[in-house]
Amino acid sequence: MLLQLLIVLIAIIIGARLGGIGLGVMGGIGLAFLIFVFGLQPTAPPIDVMLMIVAVISAASCMQAAGGLDYMVKLAEKVLRKNPSHVTILSPIVTYLFTFIAGTGHVAYSVLPVIAEVARETKIRPERPLGIAIIASQQAITASPISAATVALLGLLPGVTLFDIMVITVPATLVGVLVGAFCSMKVGKELLDDPEYQRRVKEGLIGDDSVKTADVANANKAKWSVIIFLMATLLIVLFGSISEMRPTFMVEGKAVMMDMPAIIEILMLSAAALILLFLRIDGIEAVKGSVFPAGMQAVIAIFGIAWMGELLLKVTSNSLPALLKVLFRVCHGCLGWLCLSCLFFFTVRRLLCVLLFR
């Protein structure tokens, strides 16, 4: 078992160093060792998870092609420039909402230069709002109902609903981000009292060039693309929270409720189609943006890493409890810490393959 675990960890480490689709394809190498060398019976690949991510990325890519993401950046810039003295608090809220709505942290990159410029103009250390803003965008991935991480959890955890996930992740991440924002307000010296900053100002190393965000070619189209995407997201949350809204079908004399993966796929594909049809967006342009390639990398990562992780989980489910009993008997003096470590491992072993492709 330990050798199998070592092979999985090596595959993950090498895949992470390769970057891009490397993480996913290295999962194939790990699977090859586990199946052909150790003779483990393969599990089914996470098809539902991959299809959900493809559907969400399709809708987000169409919204980007319509100028929706640029429109959101413009709105964020207005909010930050109207309240420059509160940039450390507002910046993480803005990036959190960006990622929460779009389901990917890549949309927050465009607003980072604006955050840095507003902070410099207000004589606030840029590292304060920038640091917590980046963290907030990643925390929102855990809370977003359409992010790859949430969609993967929904597909990998039977019996767990979207509402079950969000009722924990949304308040937990929001509180954590706000606490982090308030703590960030005291990071480092004030720029007026920082000798290194003052030296760079005197030497002309601090530029005064203003940041110009991308112009929205058609504000009306961009606005409607965001509205369509938000409506689809809202419907997903409603279907996930109110089970009575889901269609029910009779299968072999029993009432079977439509599962959430299928609902997410249908709604997101429909949103993408509505954006293309009614806003007259070229479908080819949708795959040329930054969202589509990033999303496809996530799909490949899920294909290889999650499949490999699920196979390892199946193997270790029976042998790990016996090993832990032995450890508890040997390490009775540090039972508390050992218990916490074991609980942590059981919690993250399924999440590890999901969270790595953020």
Confidence at residue 15, expressed as pLDDT on a 0 to 100 scale: 85
The pLDDT tens digits for 140-153 are 988 988 887 787 77
> Does 120 share its domain with 95?
yes
Confidence at residue 351, expressed as pLDDT on a 0 to 100 scale: 46
Cα distances (Å, whole numbers) of residue 153 to 171, 249, 309, 356: 18, 25, 13, 13
> Does 29 share its domain with 142?
no
pLDDT, mean of residues 265-276: 94
3-state secondary structure (DSSP) of residue 254: strand
Structure tokens at 244: 């009575």
Confidence at residue 179, expressed as pLDDT on a 0 to 100 scale: 93
Give the total number of structural domains in the chain: 2
> Does 212 share its domain with 320?
no
> Does 99 share its domain with 230?
yes
3-state secondary structure (DSSP) of residue 212: coil
The pLDDT tens digits for 85-106 are 888 999 999 999 988 988 777 7
Higher per-residue confidence, 13 vs 178: 178
Banded pLDDT at 314 (limits 50, 70, 90): confident
The pLDDT tens digits for 113-171 are 888 888 888 888 888 899 899 999 989 988 988 887 787 777 667 778 888 888 999 99
205 phi and psi, to 5 degrees? -85, -15
> Does 239 share its domain with 125?
yes
> Does 256 share its domain with 347?
no
* Neighbour-count burial of 329, counting CB atoms closer than 10 A to its CB (0-12 exposed, 13-18 middle, 19+ buried): exposed
Kindly state the percentage of the chain with pLDDT values over 90: 19
Banded pLDDT at 173 (limits 50, 70, 90): very high
Higher per-residue confidence, 327 vs 275: 275
Is the pLDDT score of 341 beyond 70? no
pTM (2 d.p.): 0.77
Domain stop point among 258, 289, 320: 289
Task: Give, to the nearest 10 degrees, the angle between helix 22-32 and helix 291-301.
Answer: 10
Give 3-state DSSP helix, strand, coil % of the chain, rounded to 5.
75, 0, 20
3-state secondary structure (DSSP) of residue 159: coil
Is the pLDDT score of 17 beyond 60? yes
- CA-wise closest residue to 286 among 19, 53, 68, 75: 68
> Does 32 share its domain with 86?
no
Domain stop point among 263, 289, 315: 289
> Does 178 share its domain with 130?
yes
Q: Which domain holds residue 203?
A: 45-289
Cα distances (Å, whole numbers) of residue 324 to 110, 174, 267, 344: 47, 35, 44, 13
The pLDDT tens digits for 35-60 are 898 888 888 888 888 888 899 889 99
Confidence at residue 275, expressed as pLDDT on a 0 to 100 scale: 95
Banded pLDDT at 228 (limits 50, 70, 90): very high
> Does 168 share its domain with 185?
yes
Domain stop point among 266, 289, 312: 289
Banded pLDDT at 345 (limits 50, 70, 90): low
Contact 270, 232 (CB under 8 A): yes
How many Cα neighbours within 13 Å face the side chain of 96? 25
* Neighbour-count burial of 237, counting CB atoms closer than 10 A to its CB (0-12 exposed, 13-18 middle, 19+ buried): middle
Banded pLDDT at 355 (limits 50, 70, 90): very low
Structure tokens at 310: 């699920």
Is the pLDDT score of 8 beyond 90? no
Looking at 93-97, 196-200, 333-337, which range is the least confident one?
333-337
Higher per-residue confidence, 194 vs 127: 127
Confidence at residue 24, expressed as pLDDT on a 0 to 100 scale: 86
> Does 340 share its domain with 222?
no
> Does 11 share its domain with 37?
yes
Higher per-residue confidence, 335 vs 109: 109
> Does 227 share its domain with 313?
no
